[in-house]
Structure 1
Amino acid sequence: MVSGTAGRAPEPALAPPTREAVIDRLMPGYPPPRHWRRVPSTGQHYLDLGSGDPVLFLHGNPSWSYAWRKLVGRLSPHARCVVPDLPGFGMSRHLRPPAGCPDPYQAQLDHLDTLHRHLAQDRELPERGWTLVLHDWGGPLGIAWALRHPGVVTRLVVCNTVAFPWPAGFQLPFYLRWIRDHALVSGFVHLTNAFARTAVHAGVHHRLPAAERRAFLRPYARSGERRAVVDAIRAIPRDSTDPAWQLLEPPNPDAGLGAVPMLIGWGMRDPVFTPLVLEEWARRYPHAAIQRFPDAGHFVMEDAAGELGDHIRDFLRGTP
């Protein structure tokens, strides 16, 4: 008698999942590896997808290029989207300032210079005619970089950030002051990843799916990968004695930017960049088009991705 399985053809082995399938499971919505690039001289990671006028997205802390995935998905059919991980964040290795450069944010500007040269020389992007999309720490960095290179940036999109001295009456939330000013607190935050874990909840008004929260936190899973997160909080400038203050009050403020077309997309439920900061943007740049999103938090690109993406698309189409 033959067993019931005798003579039956063996079942085919399951094919291993593709790299893109694994990435989509670990980082849902993030562009696949064929869009990943690195700057040869620094190893800085960035996304490059779409075609058209170049648009450079600069994230803040504790986020990384993953925060822009929804906007990039909407805008890449209309523009060349370049989305770097700032050194020390995401998939870019930690930035170590060169000798004689104690301020890490001047070194960040130098890395933006290197990225821009690489894109112009190796990726054949134009040297001028760039749009910057800025959020959180990306705001002061992007504005300072634009001032460093007059004429390169021809449009600005501003999302919940600051690029000028804090307006009268503004105060940082107490938890940021504690992390910035107390070594024991910052050490605890570094050990537990508490700031990033809190940000993925408190930074949005509409709860993120668990898989997306895990993707936000993935680059900071090990304590050795969190140094830039805490360093960025401790570098928040209070006054002119702090090195990063020059990002908020550069020697040539508004030089060449006063007439640059500007779109401001603001999450009105942001506990850090409150409506008081938005009012200062409006006062300093009265020509800016402002879109307020009453049900969006700090990560306005998460809470209002559809509306914000449409406004940015129309802004790109409607400005030379």
Structure 2
Amino acid sequence: MIHRHETFNGTYPFAAHFTAAPGFDMHYVDEGEGPVVLCLHGEPTWGYLFRHLTAQLCTNHRVIVPDHMGFGKSETPADRTYWLQDHIDNLEKLVLDLDLQDITLVMHDFGGPMGMGLAARHPDRIARIVSINAPAAFGQPTLGATLEANTAESPWFTWVIRAAQEGRLEGVLNESHYNILSTLKLNGFERNELITATWLKAYAAPFATPADCRGVLGWAAGFAAGMHQFENPDTIAREKISRLPALCIWGSADQTLHGKYFIPLFRSLFPDGQVYELPQAGHYSPEDAPDAIAWLLSRFLGLNPVGKPTQHIIPVI
């Protein structure tokens, strides 16, 4: 767990907030005023991934960026499991504790099924959906085939399954502080000039000891063992969610979550949604293309204000 006041040489200057509602100290950033934008990170990142978006959006929005259990500045309890459904439970308790309404979900990586899980449980609290290299999916019948096909082409998921079968997964991921760069590069980002001492420290810091690695290990081990449970909303909730303004931004160089599998999944759920592909960006597109993503997201928020009818525009693909 990172010290609450750590800013990584001023690159993460946001005040730390904590809630004990999920049963552990869960950290979140809470910057600005206005409509709520809730940013959800994935594996093996934390709120640092959204530092550029936070700074650019907080002038007109209330930007909330939680660190999930076992990541970032949040606690890593020893007596908890770290499956998808556990993270959805924690997120739900944060949202209810803060009584967040009219939420714009901005989701990356496993933040996608986590945010969609929240939407399934509380569709009346969600106003807009944004997927950034994130599976925007429920437990629909096509999900299993999509995940299987993607896994066959993903070096990360292929390694996770093989390492789990051979008993090597825990040994490797319990040393994430040491091998964070190889983990990030295996998942994929394109801008090697980002790899500074400060950048590496920021992404390695949550995993200083094996005891700190329960989050990063739990997500991978849960995938290998089939422990993650995607939410299935009822028909009314699914219909309500599918009518929300929705935006998909995909770094086309993603080698972990391939757009050819997950963009159709997004379109099947949000037939009127907008899709933008960024050819120079990889899996960690908020790192590769922060300005482009901020512009697309700001434009989307402006065209689809909370409480007003959606303005449909022709997507640029």
- Give TM-score scaled by structure 1 length: 0.81
**Alignment of structure 1 residues 128-277 onto 2, 5 Å:** 128-162=101-135, 163-164=137-138, 165-166=143-144, 167=146, 169-171=149-151, 172-173=154-155, 174-191=158-175, 193=177, 196-202=180-186, 203-207=188-192, 208-210=194-196, 211-236=198-223, 242-244=226-228, 246-247=229-230, 250=232, 252=234, 254-276=238-260, 277=262
**Residue pair 1:28, 1:215 contacting (<8 A) in 2 also:** no
1:19-76 per-residue CA deviation (whole Å, 9 max, x = no partner) reads 99x844x2542123xx210004431001010111011111001000111101111111
1:87 corresponds to which letter in structure 2? M
**Alignment of structure 1 residues 1-320 onto 2, 5 Å:** 23-24=6-7, 26-32=8-14, 35-41=15-21, 42-95=24-77, 104-120=83-99, 127-162=100-135, 163-164=137-138, 165-166=143-144, 167=146, 169-171=149-151, 172-173=154-155, 174-191=158-175, 193=177, 196-202=180-186, 203-207=188-192, 208-210=194-196, 211-236=198-223, 242-244=226-228, 246-247=229-230, 250=232, 252=234, 254-276=238-260, 277-320=262-305
1:264 and 1:136 map into 2 onto residues whose CA distance is: 12
1:88 and 1:319 map into 2 onto residues whose CA distance is: 34
1:43 and 1:106 map into 2 onto residues whose CA distance is: 18
Q: CA RMSD in A?
A: 2.5
In the other structure, the counterpart of 2:314 is none
1:117 and 1:192 map into 2 onto residues whose CA distance is: 32
Does the C-alpha gap of structure 1 residues 95 and 282 become closer, same or farther in structure 2, counting only changes over 3 Å?
A: farther
**Residue pair 2:82, 2:219 contacting (<8 A) in 1 also:** no
Paired residue total: 284
- Report the secondary structure of 1:106's partner residue: helix
2:289 corresponds to which letter in structure 1? A
Does the C-alpha gap of structure 1 residues 181 and 138 become closer, same or farther in structure 2, counting only changes over 3 Å?
A: farther
2:114 corresponds to which letter in structure 1? L
- Report the secondary structure of 2:250's partner residue: strand
Deviation at 1:319, TM superposition (A): 0.6
Structure number with larger C-alpha Rg: 1
Give unpaired runs (5+ residues) of structure 2: 306-317
1:260 and 1:274 map into 2 onto residues whose CA distance is: 24
2:176 and 2:223 map into 1 onto residues whose CA distance is: 21
1:177 and 1:195 map into 2 onto residues whose CA distance is: 18
1:93-139 per-residue CA deviation (whole Å, 9 max, x = no partner) reads 124667xxx7743232221122112212xxxxxx4211000011110
2:20 and 2:211 map into 1 onto residues whose CA distance is: 23
More helix by share: 2
Does the C-alpha gap of structure 1 residues 280 and 109 become closer, same or farther in structure 2, counting only changes over 3 Å?
A: closer
1:75 corresponds to which letter in structure 2? L
- Give TM-score scaled by structure 2 length: 0.81
1:63-91 per-residue CA deviation (whole Å, 9 max, x = no partner) reads 00111101111111121000000011111
Does the C-alpha gap of structure 1 residues 200 and 170 become closer, same or farther in structure 2, counting only changes over 3 Å?
A: closer
**Residue pair 1:180, 1:235 contacting (<8 A) in 2 also:** no
In the other structure, the counterpart of 1:6 is none
2:214 and 2:16 map into 1 onto residues whose CA distance is: 23
Does the C-alpha gap of structure 1 residues 31 and 61 become closer, same or farther in structure 2, counting only changes over 3 Å?
A: same
Give unpaired runs (5+ residues) of structure 1: 1-18, 121-126
Identity among equivalent pairs (%):
27
1:150 and 1:96 map into 2 onto residues whose CA distance is: 32
2:134 and 2:263 map into 1 onto residues whose CA distance is: 9
- Report the secondary structure of 1:155's partner residue: strand
Does the C-alpha gap of structure 1 residues 103 and 176 become closer, same or farther in structure 2, counting only changes over 3 Å?
A: closer
Does the C-alpha gap of structure 1 residues 45 and 27 become closer, same or farther in structure 2, counting only changes over 3 Å?
A: farther
Deviation at 1:221, TM superposition (A): 2.0
2:246 corresponds to which letter in structure 1? M
